[in-house]
Amino acid sequence: MSTQAVATHTAAPVAQAERIGALDTLRGFALLGILVMNIMSFSMIFSAYFNPTNYGDLTGANYWVWFLSHVLVDQKFMTLFSMLFGAGVVLFTERAEAKGESPRRLHYRRMLWLILFGLLHGFLLWYGDILYVYGMCGLLVYLFRRCEPRTLIALAILFIAAASGLQGFMGWSMQFWPAEEVANVQQMWRPNAAKIAEEMSAYRGGWLEQMQHRVPFFAEFSLVFFWMFFWRPAGVMLLGMALYKLGAFSAQRSSGFYAALVAAGALVGLPLIVYGVRLNEAAGWNLEWSMFHGSQLNYWGSVLVSLGYVGVVMLVCKSGALGWLRASLAAVGQMAFTNYLLHTIICTTIFYGHGLGYFGSVERTGQIRIVLAVWALQLIVSPIWLRYYRFGPFEWLWRSLTYGRPQPFRRAVAVPAPAAA
């Protein structure tokens, strides 16, 4: 194509025919998996997410739901989704350059809108928002988009290790903290009955009552503790950039390559995580060990397990098996922004006081049944939606704001469900 022809292109979202089906399938897989852990934050007090002994039954089937969620899901699917976000940064900028547009202008506009969406989501609906963090990390990782895969992998390890080191340092330095500060952290790690009752009352109440807990909580996270949480997602995004450049997300690598990823996750990652659980249980989930040191094995093991999931999904894509499921996951992945926010809309309606008010009343076994119902809904509805519309509603809004003009939304003619990759 001539330079003149390229220059006449107008920047626009990627067309259906240009999509990477395997990447969309992997994104849908990651998005659905995230809900397994997020539902704990929607349905129970905040501290129960990190310290399962704080709230709810932890015996029998409830224990095994927690254990399997922790070992197979906790940090794994968010890590996988972060990798794909990094890959998306490279893909987005490559396609903008190919169409003669300024990738920097479009990218930063895109990230600034994402940050705004995240702030609105976090302050108004749910304190567990990740969009703000992704937008902030996206401002930085863009600068590394042209690096070679080897450099990106080295930087990724450095960033991920930085967050791990900060956490370890805080655990070591706690012996020097003022007693009042230790008590504050202890209250967060294992809140007393009054604190639990306060949080329960807030989220069983109406929207304004929820805001009394959510606004200061999210403000403290986004404005004070962000520097602590920044390094890991940014590092994982850099890793995702490298894997995208190596063809790992488009099922282009050999079956042996993906089998090696599966082996790393299954033979190294999972045993590390299980060992970490045993250490935390032996320590009684105390603050001194479990908050700062006991979480490290899952922190690192989750990266390997996430890579193992990449291997599994790509091997399925290469084999051509499970065609309907892959196509449905790809549709969920194409609508990941909408489906992520839909998780919040559905779960806050079920658990918060402005809806059914089941906050704190659903055991872990009940939570996983709700997760399965939401999965079924999104796997069925997402492909149907994309037959008639080009994007999910929030994807359309985000893209229209990014490109500075309304994007085509409805399809002129309904199309078949997205084909499996």
Does residue 295 form part of some domain? yes
- Range 189-192 contact pairs with CB under 8 angstroms and sequence separation of 24 or more: 189/47, 189/50, 189/51, 189/287, 189/291, 190/47, 190/51, 190/54, 190/287, 191/45, 191/47, 191/54
Residue 367 in this model has a pLDDT that exceeds 90: yes
Does residue 7 form part of some domain? no
**Distance separating alpha carbons of residues 67 and 361, to the nearest angstrom:** 20
Share of the chain above pLDDT 70, in %: 93
Residue 77 in this model has a pLDDT that exceeds 90: yes
Per-residue confidence band for 74, with pLDDT thresholds at 50, 70 and 90: very high
In this prediction, residue 414 carries a pLDDT of 63
Q: Which residue has the higher pLDDT, 244 or 225?
A: 244
41 and 161, same domain (yes or no): no
In this prediction, residue 215 carries a pLDDT of 95
The full DSSP string for 251-308 is: T-S-HHHHHHHHHHIIIIIHHHHHHHHHHHHHTTS-IIIIITTTTHHHHHHHHHHHHH
Q: How many domains are contained in the chain?
A: 3
* Two structure tokens written together for 219: 């403000």
- Range 396-399 contact pairs with CB under 8 angstroms and sequence separation of 24 or more: 398/110, 398/113, 398/114, 398/117, 398/337, 399/13
Does residue 13 form part of some domain? no
What's the one-letter identity of residue 40?
M
- Domain range for residue 295? 254-316
Residue 5 in this model has a pLDDT that exceeds 60: no
121 and 82, same domain (yes or no): yes
Q: Which residue has the higher pLDDT, 229 or 46?
A: 46
Is residue 412 classed exposed, middle or buried when 0-12, 13-18 and 19+ CB atoms within 10 A define those classes?
exposed
Please state, in angstroms and as integers, the Cα–Cα distance from residue 89 to each residue in 19, 166, 244, 365, 407, following that order: 14, 27, 10, 37, 20
Does residue 156 form part of some domain? yes
**Mind listing the pLDDT tens digit for each residue in 284-320?**
999 888 888 889 999 999 999 999 999 999 999 999 9
Of 41-55, 181-195, 247-261, 359-373, minimum mean pLDDT range: 181-195
287 and 187, same domain (yes or no): no
Does residue 374 form part of some domain? yes
Is residue 211 classed exposed, middle or buried when 0-12, 13-18 and 19+ CB atoms within 10 A define those classes?
middle
**Mind listing the pLDDT tens digit for each residue in 86-126?**
999 999 999 888 888 889 999 999 999 999 999 999 999 99
Last residue within a domain, chosen from 250, 285, 307: 250
Residue 8 in this model has a pLDDT that exceeds 60: no
244 and 283, same domain (yes or no): no
Per-residue confidence band for 47, with pLDDT thresholds at 50, 70 and 90: very high
**Rounded mean pLDDT of 395-407?**
95
In this prediction, residue 225 carries a pLDDT of 65
In this prediction, residue 106 carries a pLDDT of 95
Which residue in 191, 196, 166, 189 sits closest to 288, CA to CA? 189
Share of the chain above pLDDT 90, in %: 81
**Mind listing the pLDDT tens digit for each residue in 315-338?**
999 999 999 999 999 999 999 999
Place of tokens 């009054």: 194
In this prediction, residue 420 carries a pLDDT of 53
Is residue 410 classed exposed, middle or buried when 0-12, 13-18 and 19+ CB atoms within 10 A define those classes?
exposed
177 and 300, same domain (yes or no): no
299 and 227, same domain (yes or no): no
Last residue within a domain, chosen from 250, 271, 300: 250
Does residue 16 form part of some domain? no
415 and 340, same domain (yes or no): yes
Residue 2 in this model has a pLDDT that exceeds 70: no
Residue 418 in this model has a pLDDT that exceeds 60: no
Is residue 293 classed exposed, middle or buried when 0-12, 13-18 and 19+ CB atoms within 10 A define those classes?
middle
141 and 202, same domain (yes or no): yes
Residue 421 in this model has a pLDDT that exceeds 60: no
Strand positions, DSSP E, 184-248: none
97 and 135, same domain (yes or no): yes
Question: Diameter of the chain by CA atoms?
Answer: 70
Of 17-31, 111-125, 136-150, 367-381, minimum mean pLDDT range: 17-31
Does residue 14 form part of some domain? no
Does residue 4 form part of some domain? no
Distance from chain centroid for Cα 88: 14
92 and 216, same domain (yes or no): yes
* Two structure tokens written together for 367: 């939570």
57 and 87, same domain (yes or no): no
Distance from chain centroid for Cα 265: 19
- What percentage of the chain's residues is helix, strand, coil (to nearest 5)? 75, 0, 25
N residues, the chain: 421
**Mind listing the pLDDT tens digit for each residue in 15-37?**
544 568 999 999 999 999 999 99
Residue 7 in this model has a pLDDT that exceeds 50: no
**Distance separating alpha carbons of residues 131 and 340, to the nearest angstrom:** 10
Does residue 249 contact residue 87 with C-beta atoms inside 8 Å?
Answer: yes
Q: What is the mean pLDDT of the chain?
A: 91
Of 142-146, 164-168, 312-316, minimum mean pLDDT range: 164-168
Residue 42 in this model has a pLDDT that exceeds 90: yes
387 and 329, same domain (yes or no): yes
**Distance separating alpha carbons of residues 151 and 301, to the nearest angstrom:** 22
Residue 416 in this model has a pLDDT that exceeds 70: no
Instruction: In the chain, count H helices and then E strands.
Output: 19, 0
Is residue 404 classed exposed, middle or buried when 0-12, 13-18 and 19+ CB atoms within 10 A define those classes?
exposed
In this prediction, residue 291 carries a pLDDT of 87
Dihedral angle computed from the Cα positions of residues 135, 139, 144 and 150, in that order, rounded to the nearest 10 degrees = -30
In this prediction, residue 1 carries a pLDDT of 34
Last residue within a domain, chosen from 265, 282, 316: 316
* Two structure tokens written together for 366: 């009940």
